[in-house]
Amino acid sequence: MKIVVSDCDHESMKIEKDILAAAGLDFDHKVARTEDEVIAQCKGGNIILNQYGKFDDRVFTALPEVKQIVRYGVGVDNIDLEAATRHGVQICNVPDYGMHEVSDHALALMLSLIRKIPATIDQTRRREWDFRQMAPIRRITDMTIGVLGGGRIGGLFAKKALPLAKEVIVFDPYKTELEAATPGVKQVDFEELLSKADVLSIHCPLSDETRGLISAEALKRMKPGAIIINTARGGIVDEAALAEQLLSGALGGAALDCISKEPITQDSPLLDMANVFITPHMAYYSEESSQELKRKVAEEAVRFAKGEPVHYPVNKPAV
Catalytic residues: 233, 262, 281
Calpha distance 206→214 (Å, rounded): 12
Q: What is the DSSP string of 3-57?
A: EEE-----S--HHHHHHHHHTT--EEE----SHHHHHHH-TT-SEEEESS--B-H
Strands 227-230 and 276-278, by their bridges, are unpaired
Question: Strand ranges (DSSP E) for 172-275?
Answer: 185-187, 199-202, 227-230, 253-256
Calpha distance 178→197 (Å, rounded): 17
Q: How far is CA 70 from CA 17, 55, 286, in A?
A: 15, 12, 21
Element (H, E) at 102: helix 99-115
